[in-house]
Amino acid sequence: MSTITELGSLPLAGTKKGVISVSNVTEPYGKDTADIVSIGVSLNGTDIQWKSHIPYENLDEIITILQKASEDRKNA
């Protein structure tokens, strides 16, 4: 059975109530499946409209890509 543990959250820019939440999900796809990081986006602060599941094995590369996107945006 999956267990969801919130790791952190932050306000969603450009919204009044929106939230980005980051959670750990154990056994997301059934018994003995590897934990993942779940990133959820809620426009109203309650209901999740978008969700991404990222395997921990891909997390460092995702962070690198996001940091590059942020730097490129700052330098544009």
Q: What is the dihedral of CA 50, 64, 22, 48, to 10 degrees?
A: -10
Q: What is the mean pLDDT of residues 59-74?
A: 98
CA–CA distances in Å: residue 19 to residues 2, 5, 72: 22, 16, 24
Per-residue pLDDT tens over the stretch 33-63: 999 999 999 999 999 999 999 999 999 999 9
d(CA 7, CA 37): 9
* CA angle 62–65–68, rounded 5-degree value: 150
% of the chain residues with pLDDT over 90: 99
How much is the pTM?
A: 0.89
> Mean pLDDT in the chain?
97
Q: What is the mean pLDDT of residues 24-37?
A: 97
SS3 73: helix
Q: Residue 52: what pLDDT?
A: 98
Q: Residue 1: what pLDDT?
A: 86
Residues pairing with 64 in the sheet: none
